[in-house]
Homo-oligomer: A and B are copies of this chain.
Amino acid sequence: MSYLTQKLAKETVLRDPVHTYIYVQEQIILDLINTTEFQRLRRIKQLGVASEVFPAAEHSRFTHSLGVYEIARKITNHLELDYSTQVPGDGLWNPSERMITLIAGLLHDVGHGPYSHTFEHIFHTDHEAFTQAIITTAGTQINTILRRVSPEFPAQVASVINKTYPNPQVVQIISSQIDADRMDYLLRDAYFSGAHYGSFDLSFILRLLHPYAGGIAFNIIGMHGIEDYIVSRYQMYLQVYFHPASRSMEVILTNLLQRAHDLYLKAQDDLAVDISFIPPVMLPFFQHKPTLQQYLALDDGVLVTYFSQWRYVDDPILSDLAVRFLDRKPLKSILLDDESAKYLPSISQLIQEAGYNTAYYTAENDSYDLPYDAYDPKDKKPRTQIELMREDGSTTELSTISALVNAITGRQSGDRRFFFPKEMLRTNSDDIFSPVYAEFQSYITNGYLAAPHN
């Protein structure tokens, strides 16, 4: 038997509270889990700063990756049992696609780094590119294992993840509007955060999957189960991923890294600027040319270790932001809209007057900056639609028949907020800045930026 399909002498399992067990049946899966690149995911939290708001959401990308693998495994089992191809071109499932599907599911996030979204914003790294690199670069443990299957296999696995693999069924199991990735993270984030909006009926949905020539459709008879999944996602985005306090911690992290980066740039021109606070492992990122090896050396603990040292640097903004990040001192925020945005200069001015450099202590931020991927067939960069399959094999797009999904589709959900130091909300009258604070507060009505009341 080839290495790709070689079974373990005895199936092994990993305990997982979301799926009860992760079942590992093939040698190659176990070997991939045991690589240094994959084990590194244990040290990167799945939700980044969200655990500052939902304290128990401390789970890692390691367990999520195992969960994606496990759902992909359940899907391929279901497809193989009920819909194995009978004649070429019948549009059904080809069981020989099983292993590449499982491996792509396991590895789809392997290039994630610490606090990816924020970090990438400042340092222009790209976790998707690193995922491809880890898989296809000779010398990584993962590449070495995949290459044992065939010289082309690493590139094939990578192509599933970047959606260029020819079989759309395999691609859609790993990335589409209802894929193993999203199904695992909704269930997992709900379980660990305690915000149960993310729960939906996985067993029910798995039974609906139906392969066809165009990819994976869902039996129309279970349309309401799909609706429930879509609404769960919507709720998790609004209530957890876009939570104002969580976004506020991201603002602090962004501004902290921005400040460090600005100091680095300044030091290029001005030798007096001390940038000894930048450790060797981080320097390549300031120079925008990290190697794969250097990238893999980062994890949450590494960043936080150096942030801890930044508490004591001389630059007052850098050290203060480091403290705010580590000791969880979120900014506060108010909602605004196009109309009320005209007051932003006035309140920024007041924040400046109270002694804060607004470049590092405020931010305007709407949740659409975040990687929200609500189902939208009208999107400019259209995603795979959710197709429902009727008894006779014809299909129809979900939002055409679901009023509930239609209500969410194409709408930008979320909100637009302005973040500022909590100190601006002080009401203690013996503070020297009290009049400034009071004027600032007069611009807030019911949590919204508004015409000042006196």
Within 8 A of B (CB), among A402-454: 403-404, 406-408, 411, 413, 445-447
How far, in angstroms, from A67 to B62 measured CA to CA in the complex? 25
Whether A60 is near chain B, meaning CB under 8 Å from some CB there, is yes
Decide if A192 touches B446 in the complex (CB within 8 Å): no
* CB–CB A404/B403 < 8 A: no
Taken together, the copies of this chain in the complex come to 4
A47 to chain B, nearest CB (A): 12
| CB of A62 to closest CB in B, whole Å | 6
A221 to chain B, nearest CB (A): 8
A239 CA to B224 CA in the complex, in Å? Answer: 7
The smallest C-beta distance from A264 to any residue of chain B, in angstroms, reads: 21
Report if A195 contacts B (CB, 8 A). yes
- CB neighbours (8 Å) of A297 from chain B are 308
A197 contacts chain B at the CB level, 8 A cutoff: yes
A327: chain B residues within 8 A (beta carbon): 34-36, 39
For the complex, count residues of A whose C-beta is within 8 A of B: 73
A13 to B204, CA, bound (A): 10
Complex A-B: 7 CB contacts under 8 Å: A17-B194, A20-B194, A42-B55, A196-B199, A199-B199, A299-B301, A390-B447
Interfacial chain B residues near A62, Cβ < 8 Å: 55
Q: Judging by beta carbons under 8 Å apart, are A194 and B15 in contact? A: yes
With A231-B231, A390-B446, A408-B403 as known contacts, state yes or no: A54 contacts B15, CB within 8 Å.
yes
In Å, the complex CA distance between A264 and B197 comes to: 52
| Distance, CA A219 to CA B197, complexed state (A) | 18
Contact for A305 among B42, B196, B305, CB less than 8 A: B305
Within 8 A of B (CB), among A28-51: 34-36, 39, 42-43, 51
| A26 contacts chain B at the CB level, 8 A cutoff | no
Q: Are B55 and A51 in contact (CB under 8 A)?
A: no
